Amino acid sequence: MSSPRTSDVLVIGGGIIGLVTAWRAAQRGFATTVVDPAPGGGAAQVAAGMLAAVTELHFGEQTLLGLNLASARRYPDFVAELTELTGHDLGYRRCGTLAVALDTDDRAHLRELHALQRQSGLESEWLSGRECRRLEPMLAPGVRGGLRVDGDHQVDPRRLAGALLAACERAGVVFRRAWAERLSVVGERATGVVTRDGTALGAGQVVLAGGSLSGRLAGVPQDVLPPVRPVKGQVLRLTVPQRYAPFLSRTVRAVVRGSQVYLVPRENGELVVGATSEELGWDTTVTAGGVYELLRDAHELVPGITELPLTETRAGLRPGSPDNAPLLGPTGLAGLLLATGHYRNGVLLTPVTGDALAHALATGELPDEARPFAPRRFAAAALSELPA
């Protein structure tokens, strides 16, 4: 079936990654459509919004670090542009982060992370437990030491999604509130999608930005289908009453019994506590166990949280990829690009993804900083594993 060409660029998925792609594409003059039954939803409704290039550094992820840092550097201008255009306050807070250790094992792990950060040229300062508590008096007396990282900030992902929606609307992006059922392929080229109600939407180029569902779109050839999986995260939202403010002045995080826990204080009094990491398919049930573990670990870090009203519990799905890094740009199928697999850094990577995809849509090439994240890295790995 041939599709009528109704737009230059059709983006499947209106999460923050699809929206930033659509906005930047429209700014470049492409007639752009987003297909999503509920644009502005997705994982950003759950995410904490840490912009944590330094404290999220993991061994073996130095390539991703380059992209994370490139995006972190763009954040101030990105927020200023979006705010000026839409009038939305994104809750961008340049507050820094304190990563602390509660026992000797955690302390040793944090020391190693500090060494890796310094080898990578990152700014991060080791503090004693007493120095940590001087910065954040609500911390538990048992804190053994920590890393002060003044460059890891935060944004409110819900506000970011709202601002991106408004920016897209202003730039003339068309929204189709529908489910894309199947990619249309004619010859060797992606030509659009067919929605669940059978409507064919044509496009010169299609960007698949379906978050954790990106690997499930029918019609995408097997060797091009992104290897993306859902990684569930449960998150709590508490409120800091005025009489306790400022409860925390920066993001505080730790590894407690092998699990990550963080507390992200917003300027409006919201305190986000996250997050579990569970491989359970597309399940988004909030469980008693998940809430219990988060509260238990957060309480060990900051005992005073038990006084705060618990206002929301929610679970979302991170789009995980085999190397924890995103898949960006052209695929082996002409006319199909990917913007997916952002896993635990999708909020941080929003600015650089928008720029990289707009560049790829206009030129067919990724900009230098995004080249290591071309989807073909997985196709090549799969081919080399085939028996001779």
| CA quadruple 370, 373, 376, 381: dihedral sign | positive
CB of 99 to ligand FAD, least distance (A): 14
Q: Which is nearer to ligand FAD, 124 or 212 (CB)?
A: 212
Is 129 or 211 the residue whose CB approaches ligand FAD more closely?
211
Cβ-Cβ contacts under 8 Å for 187 (sequence gap 6 or more):
none
Report, in Å, the least distance between residue 321 CB and ligand FAD. 10
Within a 10 A sphere around the Cβ of 131, how many other Cβ atoms?
Answer: 15
- Provide, rounded to whole angstroms, the least separation between the CB of residue 188 and ligand FAD: 22
CA torsion angle for 127, 133, 138, 139 (degrees, to 10)?
A: 50
Task: Give 126's contacts (C-beta < 8 A, 6+ positions apart).
Answer: 111, 114, 145, 146, 147
Least distance to ligand FAD, CB of residue 157, Å: 6
Taking the least distance from each CB to ligand FAD, the nearer of 138 and 325 is: 325
**C-beta of 208: minimal distance to ligand FAD in Å?**
8
Task: Give the integer Cα–Cα distance in Å for 101 and 131.
Answer: 13
Give the residue with the Cβ less far from ligand FAD, 204 or 210: 210
Q: Number of C-alpha atoms within 13 angstroms, CB side, residue 380? A: 7
Euclidean distance between CA atoms 165 and 196, whole angstroms = 23
Query: Which lies closer to ligand FAD via its Cβ, residue 145 or residue 180?
Result: 180
Question: Least distance to ligand FAD from the beta carbon of 211, Å?
Answer: 2
Shortest Cβ 313–ligand FAD spacing (Å): 11
Structure tokens at 344: 């635990």
| Shorter beta-carbon distance to ligand FAD: residue 114 or 344 | 344
Distances in Å between the Cα of 131 and the Cα atoms of 28, 55, 118, 150 are 49, 18, 20, 15
Measured CA to CA, the distance from residue 38 to residue 144 in angstroms comes to 45
Encode burial over 344-380: b for 16+ CB neighbours within 10 A, e otherwise: bbbbbbbbbbbbbbbbbbeeeebbeebeebbbebbee
Nearer to ligand FAD, 204 or 354 (CB): 354
CB closer to ligand FAD, 36 vs 355: 36
Q: Residues in the site for ligand FAD, rule: CB under 6 A? A: 12-18, 35-36, 38, 41-44, 46-50, 179-180, 209-213, 217, 233, 235, 274-275, 316-319, 340, 342-348
CB of 139 to ligand FAD, least distance (A): 20
Rounded to whole angstroms, how far apart are CA atoms 191 and 4? 9
